[in-house]
Amino acid sequence: MRHILIIGIGAGNPEHMTVQAINALNRADVLFIPTKGAKKAELAEVRRDICARYVTRPGSRTVEFAVPMRRTEGRSYTDSVDEWHASIATAYEDLLERELSDGQTGAFLVWGDPMLYDSTIRIIERVRARGRVDFGFDVIPGITSLQALCASHRIPLNLVGKPVEITTGRRLAESFPEKTATAAVMLDGEQAFQKVEDPEAEIYWGAYLGTPDEIVISGRLDEVKEKILSTRKEARERMGWIMDIYLLRKGADFDD
Ligand SMILES: C[S@@+](CC[C@H](N)C(=O)[O-])C[C@H]1O[C@@H](n2cnc3c(N)ncnc32)[C@H](O)[C@@H]1O
C-alpha cells in the first residue's frame, strides 16, 4: 500500500519546520510541491528551499504539479469550492498513481498547518473515498500564520479566560466586535477591518510573515487603518501578490 504524509511546513520561514516535520520529509520517497502560478512563485520557492535544507535521504525526488484554478463564474461559493476540490482530487489521484509505486511514501508540503484554512486533508480523504488508489495517511502539524502573527507582535492570542474567533474577511462582520473580544482574520481580500467602527478596537496586522519581506503594523484601529491600507496596497503592487492576516481586539485582560 502507498502512504501519504501531509506535512505542515510553517508560514514562510524555513526555520518554522519542526523536528517531526524534518523527519517526515526524510521518510518520503517523493515530495510533492504545488505551484500556483508566477505571482506566487515565492511560495513554491520556500518549499524548494525547505527540501534543499532538510532532505538528506538519498534517492528521494521532488515532483512539482500545477494546482487547478478555482472557477467562480455562475456558481455559488460552495459549488465553486466543491468543484475545485474535485478537480484537485483528480490531480492527486493521477500523481499518486503515476509517481508512487506500491509500498512507497509521498509527502505533501502544506503551508502553515494542514488543519487551518487548508483543504489538503479533506481532498486526500476524498481521493481515498473514490477508491481508485489505495493508501494510508498521517498529518504532521506545522507553525500557522496565526502563531507567526502573534509571535511577531509579541502578544498572546487570547485575553485571560476569553474566547477567540478565527474567521475570514467575508464573515468578519458576523463576529467582531459584537460577539467576540478577539477575532483572527485570514483570507481577507476585501480588507474587512475598514468597516469596523469601534473606537476601542485594536488591530495587529502582518503580511509576508516569516519571510524577509515581513511587514507588521499595530495600534488603535481608527489610528492605523489608513496606514495599513496604503502599506498593503504598495506592497501588493511591488510584490505582485500578498498574504496577510490580522487580529482585532477589544477590551483587556481581567475585564468582565
Ligand atoms: C489558505 S490559508 C492557509 C493558512 C495556513 N494553513 C496556516 O496555517 O497559516 C491562507 C491565508 O493564511 C494567511 N497566511 C498564510 N501565511 C501567511 C504569511 N506568511 N503571512 C501572512 N498571512 C499568512 C493569510 O490570511 C492567507 O490568506
Residues 134, 29 share a domain: yes
Testing ligand 1's pocket by substitution, the residue of 217, 245, 248 carrying the most ligand atoms inside 8 A of its CB is: 245
Nearest Cα residue to atom 22 of ligand 1? 244
Residues 171 and 236 in one domain: yes
Report the pLDDT value the prediction gives residue 42, as an integer from 0 to 100. Answer: 80
Mutational test site, ligand 1, from 109, 117, 152, max ligand atoms within 8 Å of CB: 117
pLDDT for residue 89:
96
CATH code for the domain of 242: 3.30.950.10
**Quick one: 12 and 82 in the same domain?**
yes
Question: Relative to the CA of 146, which ligand 1 atom is closest?
Answer: 9
Q: How far is CA 189 from CA 165, 194, 216, in A?
A: 18, 12, 18
Q: Using the mean position of ligand 1's atoms as its centre, give its distance from the Cα of residue 85 in Å.
A: 19
CATH number at residue 58: 3.40.1010.10
Can you give the pLDDT at residue 159? 94
How far apart (Å, rounded) are the C-alpha atoms in residues 13 and 7? 15
45 in the same domain as 97: yes
The ligand 1 atom at the shortest distance from the C-alpha of residue 211 is 19
Residue 216's DSSP bridge partners are 206
Q: Are residues 183 and 138 in the same domain?
A: no
For ligand 1, atom 25, name the residue with the nearest CA.
186
At residue 34, the pLDDT reads 86
In testing the pocket of ligand 1, which one of 143, 185, 186 has its CB within 8 Å of the most ligand atoms? Answer: 186
Q: Report the C-alpha gap between 193 and 119 in whole angstroms.
A: 25
Residue with cell 503594523: 217
Among 179, 184, 230, residue whose Cα is nearest residue 203: 184
Number of domains into which the chain is organized = 2
Mean pLDDT by groups of 10 residues along the chain of 256 residues:
97 97 97 77 87 95 90 91 95 95 96 96 97 96 98 97 95 93 96 95 98 97 98 96 96 86
Residue 203: give the domain boundaries. Answer: 146-249
Residues with CB under 6 A from ligand 1: 11-12, 111-113, 116-118, 144-145, 186-187, 206-210, 243-245
Residues 126 and 17 in one domain: yes
Q: Which of 109, 143, 177 is the last residue of a domain?
A: 143
pLDDT at 43: 83
Of 143, 173, 190, which residue constitutes the final position of a domain?
143
Ligand 1 centroid vs 188 CA: distance in angstroms?
10
